[in-house]
A and B are shown apart, each in its own frame.
Chain A
Amino acid sequence: MTQVSNAGDTRHPTQTLQVGMLARVEGEGGLHVEIHDGHVTDVQLRIFEPPRFYEAFLRGRSYTEPPDITARICGICPVAYQFSSCLAMEDACGVTVPDHIRTMRRLLYCGEWIESHALHMFLLHAPDFLGYPGAVEMAADHPDVVAMGLRLKKAGNDLMDLVGGRSVHPINVRLGGFYHLPTVAELRAIRPRLAQALDEAVATVRLVSTFDFPELEQTYPYLALRPEVGYPLEGGDVVTSEGDAWPVQEFREHIVEYQVEHSTALHSTLDGQPYVVGPLARYSLNHDRLSPLARELAHEAGLGTVCRNPFKSIIVRGVELVEALVEALRIIDEWVDGRPASVPVPARAGQGFGATEAPRGVLFHRYVIDDAGIIEDAHIVPPTAQNQPSIEGDLRVLAERWVALGDHDLTHRCELAIRNYDPCISCSVHAVEVTVSRS
C-alpha cells in the first residue's frame, strides 16, 4: 500500500509517501522517510506489532516452561527460542549437556535454518531481485526456481518434523535434551531428501550470485557467536568485528536496550553504537569455520572472507543453506543409537544466560530463578530488535542516494533494503509500513 501526500508551504512542499504495510516480512511494520529540500532528514523503521508481554508473564512460571512458551514468540524461528532458553536455564542450574545432545540440537537447528533461509530467499527476497510482487506471481515465469525453493524449504521442515515432532513450535525439546531421540534408521530414511536438497542449495548459491546488487559497504560492527569448533549455531562465545570476545554471561555489560516512540520493539546498541547480527556477521566472523564445499561456493560466488554489502545477504544465506545441509548430513552419518534422550536439570537458585544463532542473528536469553525453579525475572533480546538502528542507518544512506527517484521506485528499493535483514517483527516485539515525507 503506497500513499503519497503533500503538506507544508508551496516553497518547500513536504511530500509524504507511505507504504501502509511492508510486505514479505514476518510481522507488521512500516518505514517513514522524511525528505527536506532533496535531502533525507529522518528515517524511522516503525514497528507497530502489538506487544505480547512475554517477559512479564514468564515471571512466576516454572523454569521448565520457557522452551515451550518462548517458542511462541516466533513461528518462523521457534527452535532458536527453545535452545536459547534451554542454554540459559542449564547455565542457571549448572548443567552442561553431553556432546550427543548438543549434536542433536545442531541437527534440529539445521532444519530451522534450512526452512527459514529457503523461505526468505525464495519466497520473500528473490521476488525483489527478479521484479515480482511475490513468489506466486514469480512462479508464473520461473516455475522451476519457485519449485526448487519449495523443495528446499520442505527438506528443512521434514528434518524438523522428524527431530522436533513438527516444524512450527516443535514439541520434542526440553531442558537437558529431548523427550525422544530419532533412531539411526529414521535419520537414514530422510538422508536422500537432504542429499538432493544439498545439490539444489549449491545450485541456489550459483543462481542468486547472478542477481544485480546495489553497492553498499556497511561500517557498523558485526556481532556473532563463535563456538570452539564448527560454524556457529547452538552456542558459543560472542565475538565482534572490533576484535572483542566475551562470554554470553557478559551480554548485559555490552548490549544496552532502549525504547523509542516509533517502535514496540526495543532498540539495542553495542558498547554505545549500532551493530549488526545475522548472516553477514556470522559469515564474516566465522568464514574459517565453513565446510570446504560452502567456502568454495562462497569464493565462486564472488564473496571474500568478509561480506559487508547487505544486498548480498541473499548469497550468504545460500552459503549458510549449503553449510546447514552439509552439517545435517554429517550428523546423520555419524549418529549412533542407545544414548539417553536427556540429562536431569535440577533447579537451583541463580541467574543463567543463553545465546544461539537464530537464522536472523544472535538471540540472547537471561533468567533468574529461585531454588524451587520459579522464574523471578526474564529478559529476551531478539535479533531483529538488535538490527533496528542499523536498518535505519542503511536506509538513511540509501534514501539519500536514491532521493531523485520517483516515490514509487524509492519505496520499492527501501523495502528491498529492509528485507536484506529478513526482519522478524513478531520476534522483535515479542509490523512494517513505508512512509516518505518530502519538504
Chain B
Amino acid sequence: MFDESLKSSALPKLAVWKFASCDGCQLSLLNCEEELLTVAGAVSIAYFPEATRGVVEGPYDVSLVEGSVTSPEEIERIGQIREMSKTLVTLGACATSGGIQALRNFADVAEFRSIVYAHPEYLSTLARSTPISAHVSVDFELRGCPIDKGQLLEVLAALVESRRPRIPTYSVCAECKRRGNVCVMVANGTPCLGPVTQAGCGALCPTYERGCYGCFGPQNTPNTAALSDQLVAAGMPPEVAMRVYRTFNAAAEPFRRESERQERAVAVAGKGAGR
C-alpha cells in the first residue's frame, strides 16, 4: 500500500477527515502527547480542522479518515477525498465497519428519524451506515472503537518508511494469554467476545475483570457460531447473544451474520412459546 513514491525529500502531506463519528479516533492522534510534535515534524499536517484552521490544498499523500458514510453528501465527499489522496487509511470501527450508527441497518431509519426529531424532513440521511470501503478503495483499515494510539503510530511510521504496518489480525485471546490473565470465561463464566475479536487493545477488558465486548471487530478467522453456542449453553438468552454482536461493529460481516443467526433463533423460540 504504502508505496515508494511517498519516500521523497518533501514531507508527506497528511490530511485528517471526519464522517459520522464521535471524534475519538482523531483524538487518539492528539493523545500521542509525547509523539505529537515528532509526528508533526515527520509529516506536513495539511488538513486537520480539529487541530488547525490552516489549510494546505490537496492533493495529499496520506488521508486518514474517521467515521462512516450516512448521507448522500458524504458519498460524494469520500469520492473527492479518494481522488485527492495517494494513500487512504481508515481509522476505527465507524470507518471500517459502519460503527454503532449501523444499528439502523437492522431497523427502519424513517422511524429512527421521527423518534429523535420533530421535523425529520430537515434531515438528509441514508437508510444504512456503511464503511468507507463500501464506497472507495481503502489502502489500510485500522480497527478499534477507539483505535489504539500505539497502532496508529505504527501505521504512521510504516507510511513514512514505505512499508506495510505490522498490525496483528489474530484474536484478543492471544494478547490476553501473553498478558498472563486468567481466562474470565473459563474461570468465572463471564461472557467474553475475546475468541472472535481482533487483538489491538492489549486485552483491556479481561485485564479489568470484564469480558471483551468486541470493539476491535472480528478477528481473521472468527468462529462466532461456536462461541455463541457456548454462551447460550452457559445460560445466555438468544436475544442477548444477538445483541452482543450488535454494538460498535454490528455491520462487520461475521458479526452481522452471527447476530442474524441468533435473531432467527429468537424468532423460532418465540413461535415455540406461542404454540
Contact = CB atoms under 8 A, between A and B. Distances in A.
Given A76-B23, A78-B24, A59 B115 contact: yes
B23 A27 contact: yes
A151 interface: yes
A169 B215 contact: yes
Contact of B53 (A24, A56, A264): A24
B215 A168 contact: no
Contacts of B25: 75, 168
Interface residues of A, number: 66
Contact of A53 (B113, B119, B209): B113
A23 B40 CA distance: 18
A136 B40 contact: yes
A53 B129 CA distance: 11
B247 interface: yes
A261 interface: yes
A323 interface: no
Given A50-B125, A72-B248, A78-B24, A168 B146 contact: yes
Contacts of A23: 49-53
A153 B33 contact: yes
B225 to A, nearest CB: 23
Contacts of A25: 50
B103 interface: yes
B50 A259 contact: no
Contact of B27 (A54, A136, A168, A179): A168
Contacts of B118: 258-259
A136 to B, nearest CB: 5
B210 A171 contact: yes
Contact of B33 (A27, A54, A150, A341): A150
A179 B184 CA distance: 12
Contacts of B109: 53
B108 to A, nearest CB: 10
A53 B20 CA distance: 11
Nearest to A424: B23
Nearest to A158: B33
Nearest to B118: A259
A52 B20 contact: yes
B145 A169 contact: yes
Contacts of A192: none
Interface string A381-412: 00000000000000000000000000000000
Given A72-B248, A139-B40, A134 B31 contact: no
B205 A73 contact: no
Nearest to A152: B33
B21 interface: yes
A415 B31 CA distance: 24
Interface stretch (A61-69, A205-213, A280-288, A302-310): A61-69
A221 interface: no
Given A23-B52, A168-B24, A52 B208 contact: no
B132 to A, nearest CB: 14
A119 B51 CA distance: 10
Contacts of B207: 165
Contacts of B268: none
B233 interface: no
A211 B266 CA distance: 62
Interface in B223-268: 240, 243, 247-248
Contacts of A185: none
Interface residues of B, number: 64
Given A53-B112, A56-B111, A169-B145, A134 B51 contact: yes
A151 B33 CA distance: 7
B100 A261 contact: no
A169 B24 contact: yes
A18 to B, nearest CB: 14
B175 interface: no
Contact of A134 (B54, B100, B103, B107): B54
Contacts of A69: 100, 247
A135 B45 CA distance: 11
Q: Which of A56, A127, A169, A174 has most B Cβ within 10 Å?
A: A56
Contacts of A57: 100-101, 103-104, 107, 112
Contact of B23 (A135, A166, A264, A426): A426
Interface in A305-320: none
Q: Which of B30, B31, B103, B146 has the most CB of A within 10 A?
A: B31
A134 B210 contact: no
Contacts of B97: none
B240 A76 contact: no
A135 B34 contact: no
A22 B50 CA distance: 9
Given A51-B70, A55-B115, A426-B22, 10 more contacts: A24-B50, A27-B23, A28-B18, A49-B20, A54-B116, A57-B104, A74-B24, A75-B24, A171-B204, A341-B209
22 contacts: A24-B49, A24-B51, A26-B23, A49-B20, A50-B20, A56-B115, A75-B27, A133-B53, A135-B51, A136-B52, A137-B52, A139-B37, A151-B33, A153-B31, A168-B27, A171-B213, A172-B210, A180-B208, A258-B118, A259-B118, A261-B122, A426-B21
Interface of B: 18-28, 30-31, 33-34, 36-37, 40, 45, 48-55, 70-71, 74, 99-101, 103-104, 107, 109, 111-113, 115-119, 122-123, 125, 129, 145-146, 201, 204-205, 207-210, 213, 215, 240, 243, 247-248
